[in-house]
Amino acid sequence: MADHHAEPHAASLYAADLGETPPRPPLAGSHESETVVIGGGLAGLTATWQLAAAGRDVTLVEANRIGWGASGRNAGFVSPGFSESIFAIERQVGKPQARQLYDLSRAGGRFVHDRLVDLDMAGLIGGHGWLKVVRHPRTGGLEERAARMGRDYDVELALWPREAVRETLVTERYFGALHDPEPFHIDPLAYAVALADDAQRRGAVLHDGTLAVSLERSLSGWQVRTSGENGPGTIKARHVVLAGSAYQGLDAPALWPGLERAVVPVATYIVTTTPLGERLDAAIRFAGCIADTRRAGNYYRIVGSGGDRRLMWGGRITTRRDEPARLAAMLKADMSAVYPQLGDVGIETAWSGLMGYARTKMPIIGLMAGARAAGLWALTAFGGHGMNTTAMGGGLIAGAIAENDDSWRLFEAWHPGFIDRTIGGRNLIGRTAAQLVYWGMQARDRLEERRAN
């Protein structure tokens, strides 16, 4: 097999701000480590950081660069909760467990916040608060949500009537909003790189440009074979953490096909405008995170300050992997439909990223079925809500390895039972099914809006 060649970070505002940084050397030759983490996104990185902080021996291999996947390309909204709605979670596991899970998801966000403060990087926090806006006049659902979140989850959501929303977000499209003061937004790539550097300072070993190509059971645990520009490598380990998300097994051999099949890659897109400065004041007077409640809706925020302010605009979901040629034009059209007063804005950068979704829209966290007590851990499928949940999940897996803490079992309800290596790789049926589900969601969104207008 030819040596694996790493890809640089995708062109994005974050990658431009990060600039040229030398890669960490790829792994080659024979090594041993108590734990090997596969995947240098925020899931793998947080598990690695937590293990290093607990004084454990841990090695992370990343096929490309730290933060190369969704973790370094996302909108940077750090907010409590999961991709699945907390009320749906409540229906599945009951209120007490849903509350425990919500609290864990909140702690994930606090972990990110605390690391930034500890690393003297609180300046990365670009804005606070989250406005969840609705695009139809039936806003009763917002009221009910605010009441339930206050009563059952201790979350103070403020209901913003149409007038207040339209003063803050100057558009005819929105009819009401919920304001949550807790979320904030950051540059996720800068955070991922800082977390990696700090893990390294604490004794973790991290390798860029190192693709894990196979996973075999050995007498003492596992053997991971790797490929990189310095040649092949092997690492023996008692524990292996699979944190490759949507990218695992996509353009490379499958490591554990049952898991890879359970995680469907879903693409979403982001553009950033050229500096708009004061032009933005006529449209958006809110520095926090903004998203509409549609299932395939828009999410956006202002980046930068003063005359250098730009709009970062995200949206659309698809299971198509190739980036559409008209990506920038598509998102620009979405932006103009909401804020026509911005006029003809220039698009500076446009990029896409893959989120890993399980059918349940919940993360897959814990020991692999069929390999119980054998030290093979899944840490994946954080969907579109990974900034807090990867921190939470990384902490749960590290706690399990370092302290035998079995809190990860709170996620057992969403652990697909069929995860073993015998099932074939991610297949077309999985992808097509997911695409149909998302087309259905978009169609329902459009119908609701048409009824409302």
Ligand X SMILES: Cc1cc2nc3c(=O)[nH]c(=O)nc-3n(C[C@H](O)[C@H](O)[C@H](O)COP(=O)(O)OP(=O)(O)OC[C@H]3O[C@@H](n4cnc5c(N)ncnc54)[C@H](O)[C@@H]3O)c2cc1C
- Give the one residue of 193, 212, 283, 364 binding ligand X; rule: CB under 6 A: 212
- Give the one residue of 74, 223, 273, 360 binding ligand X; rule: CB under 6 A: 74
Minimum Å gap between C-beta 249 and ligand X is: 7
Q: Does 334 bind ligand X (CB under 6 A)?
A: no
Enumerate residues 220-259 that contact ligand X by CB under 6 A: 243-248, 252, 255
What crossing angle do the helices spanning 188-201 and 95-118 adopt, rounded to 10°? Answer: 80
Q: Does 77 bind ligand X (CB under 6 A)?
A: yes
What does the alpha-carbon distance between residue 92 and residue 70 come to, in Å, rounded to a whole number? 28
- Give the one residue of 15, 37, 196, 270 binding ligand X; rule: CB under 6 A: 270
Compose the 25-44 pattern: x for residues touching ligand X by CB under 6 A, - for all others.
Answer: -------------xxxxxxx
Q: Does 68 bind ligand X (CB under 6 A)?
A: yes
Other CB atoms within a 10 A radius of the CB of residue 362 amount to: 24
Q: Does 445 bind ligand X (CB under 6 A)?
A: no
Amino acid in position 424: G
- Give the one residue of 10, 52, 58, 63 binding ligand X; rule: CB under 6 A: 63
Asked if residues 171 and 108 have their Cβ atoms less than 8 Å apart, the reply is no
Of the candidates 439, 436, 383, 427, the residue with the CA atom closest to the CA atom of residue 70: 383
**Residues contacting 99, CB < 8 A, separation 6+:** 152, 153
Other CB atoms within a 10 A radius of the CB of residue 406 amount to: 13
Q: What is the torsion angle, in degrees rounded to the nearest 10, for the CA atoms of residue 208, residue 211, residue 214 and residue 217?
A: 10
Q: Does 401 bind ligand X (CB under 6 A)?
A: no
Amino acid in position 16: A
**Residues contacting 117, CB < 8 A, separation 6+:** none
Q: Does 75 bind ligand X (CB under 6 A)?
A: yes
Q: For ligand X, which residue has the nearest CB?
A: 386
| Residue (126 or 176) nearer to ligand X, CB | 126
**Residues contacting 75, CB < 8 A, separation 6+:** 185, 270, 289, 299, 300, 301, 312, 314
Asked if residues 441 and 295 have their Cβ atoms less than 8 Å apart, the reply is yes
What does the alpha-carbon distance between residue 37 and residue 58 come to, in Å, rounded to a whole number? 7
Q: Does 52 bind ligand X (CB under 6 A)?
A: no
| Residue (101 or 211) nearer to ligand X, CB | 211
Minimum Å gap between C-beta 374 and ligand X is: 19
Compose the 339-368 pattern: x for residues touching ligand X by CB under 6 A, - for all others.
Answer: --------------x-x-------------
Q: Does 328 bind ligand X (CB under 6 A)?
A: no
Minimum Å gap between C-beta 138 and ligand X is: 26
Q: Does 62 bind ligand X (CB under 6 A)?
A: yes
Q: Kindly list the residues in this chain that would bind ligand X in the complex (CB under 6 A).
A: 38-44, 61-64, 68-71, 73-77, 211-212, 243-248, 252, 255, 268, 270, 314, 353, 355, 380, 382-387, 390
